[in-house]
Amino acid sequence: MKLPKRLGWKSGGILIALLIWFTFSIWGADRPIGASTAISYMGAWLFGLENSEYGKKIANPGAWEVIFLIGVLIGGAFTSIFITKTFKFRILPPLWKKHKNSSVASRLFWSFIGGFLIVFGARLAGGCTSGHFLSGASQTAISGLIFGGIVIVALIITGRTFYKNL
Amino acid sequence: MIEFINQTLELVKTQHHGSIALILFIGIVFGMVIQWTRVDTFDKIAGFAMLHGFKVPKMLFFGIGIASIGLYFMIKMGWAHYHIKPITLGGLIIGGIIFAVGMAILGLCPGTGPVAVSEGNIDVAVGLIGGLLAGGLFTYLYPELKTIMGPNLGKLTLTGLLGKNADWFIFVYGIALIAIAYILPEREIEEEVGEI
């Protein structure tokens, strides 16, 4: 059997919808898909804050999402090595080189800042692309729709101003 | 580390949201779909922020459009439950903006980021370290931050507000999202393998 090297947006969207149904269903996990709580759960643990007010609040979803993310790492590594054959250690994305600069130090600095902002913002908002958008908007949750609208606008404004030679 | 793993496994076992194997399975499928479609790349996500490629929003809108219609009837049948996040207006607006700025710069988000790490992107691993720090800092500052996260307007859904009319509205909603996926330009950045 020959597997395709890439899936298009239609197959990708259908598979994600099937996974959302399974995860929500009583035969699955009876809960939504989420990812950002796991990062704060691990962050809280690193700084010994697991017994703080927020540390206790996120313990259950955080633990669930840590196991989920371990699965994500396994699935991602497996697919990149055996199916898409794209596994490779690298630092500079080609598009960053084209529209920002060719400096490894600059890319690593901004990656750190970007990662920091993403998790801090997601925690303020109470979710990320997975929790608010995939899971929230699928339930027609108004919180998810507000988050999605704000993120799309701010994402494009940042993309059009932070990068050059557009 | 061992204590962390034990504590995490213990918490998962007591909350009845699936066995460890089932949660791992959900994660593996998620990681495979995201990697296989290559939406875990800087080129696809930052490329959308620059308005150069549209695969990410097309896949998102298409997936949510399909999922919303099915999920509505699954919940009606009792095969699933609602899990709604509250409308904490301050947090949604401020957090949404901070999140989006970071997402445009890193070119990934908390779900796709780990996939990018799993295929060898060292820059995204550095972003993850930034994220862990932010998670710790947010946890520390939470007692002060929660005042700016409000007001909490409740756990509202469009279908909930529409009551009886929700049965046909869900089709309008789902089909509208699917239509957006088709209307967005086909333009896509064919990602190349990066370098060290």
Mean pLDDT score, A154-159: 98
- The confidence score (pLDDT) of residue B187 equals 87
Report the alpha-carbon angle A41-A43-A47, nearest 5: 115
Q: What is the DSSP letter of B79?
A: S
Contact A6 B37 (CB under 8 A): yes
Q: Please list the ranges in chain B whose pLDDT falls under 70.
A: 191-196
Q: Which of B80, B135, B10 is nearest to A64 (CA)?
A: B10
Place of tokens 């046909």: B168
Comparing CB atoms, the residue among B15, B58, B97 nearest residue A9 is B58
Contact flag A158-B121 (C-beta cutoff 8 Å): no
Are A160 and B51 contacting, i.e. CB atoms less than 8 angstroms apart?
yes
Q: For chain A, positions 107-136, list CB contacts with chain B under 8 A.
A: 107-108, 110-136
- Token pair for residue A67? 């196991």
Query: Above 70 in pLDDT, residue A94?
Result: yes
> Nearest residue on chain A to B25, judged by CA atoms?
A71
Nearest to A79 among B32, B59, B159 (CB): B32
In angstroms, the separation between the Cα of residue B152 and the nearest Cα of chain A is 10
Asked if A82 reaches chain B (Cβ–Cβ under 8 Å), the answer is no
Q: Which amino acid would we find at residue B11?
A: L
User: What are the backbone angles phi and psi of residue B152, rounded to the nearest 5°?
Assistant: -85, 110
Mean pLDDT across chain A: 96
Contact B64, B55 (CB under 8 A): no
Q: End-to-end CA distance of chain B: give it in Å, rounded.
A: 30
Q: What is the pLDDT of residues A37-83, one digit of tens each?
A: 999 999 999 999 999 999 999 999 999 999 999 999 999 999 999 99
Predicted confidence at residue B191, as pLDDT, reads: 64
Closest CA–CA distance from residue B65 to any residue of chain A (Å): 7
DSSP category for residue B165: G
Tell me the one-letter amino acid at A102.
Answer: S
Contacts with A7 from chain B: Cβ below 8 Å: 33, 36-37
In this prediction, residue B69 carries a pLDDT of 98
Q: How far is B175 from chain A (nearest CA, A)?
A: 12
A100 to chain B, any CB pair closer than 8 A? The answer is: no
CA distance A38 to B110: 9
Are A36 and A130 within 8 A, CB to CB?
yes
- Closest approach of chain A CAs to the CA of B164, in angstroms? 15
> Cβ–Cβ of A92/B123 closer than 8 Å?
yes
Please indicate whether, in this complex, the C-beta atoms of B82 and A139 are within 8 angstroms of each other: yes
How many whole angstroms separate alpha carbon B28 and alpha carbon B106? 23
Contact B86, B149 (CB under 8 A): no
Q: What is the pTM of this model?
A: 0.95
C-alpha dihedral sign at B124, B125, B128, B129: negative
Q: Which residues, numbered 37 to 96 in chain B, qualify as contacts with chain A under a Cβ-Cβ cut-off of 8 Å?
A: 37-43, 46-52, 55, 57-68, 70-72, 74-75, 78-89, 91-96
What tokens were used for B83? 């899990």
Residues in Cβ contact with A16 at an 8 Å cutoff, skipping those fewer than 6 apart: A134, B30, B33, B59, B63, B67
In the predicted model, what is the mean pLDDT of residues A138-142?
97
User: Which residue type occupies A83?
Assistant: I
pLDDT at residue A1 in the model: 67
Residues in chain B within 8 Å Cβ distance of A139: 68, 71, 75, 82-84, 157, 159
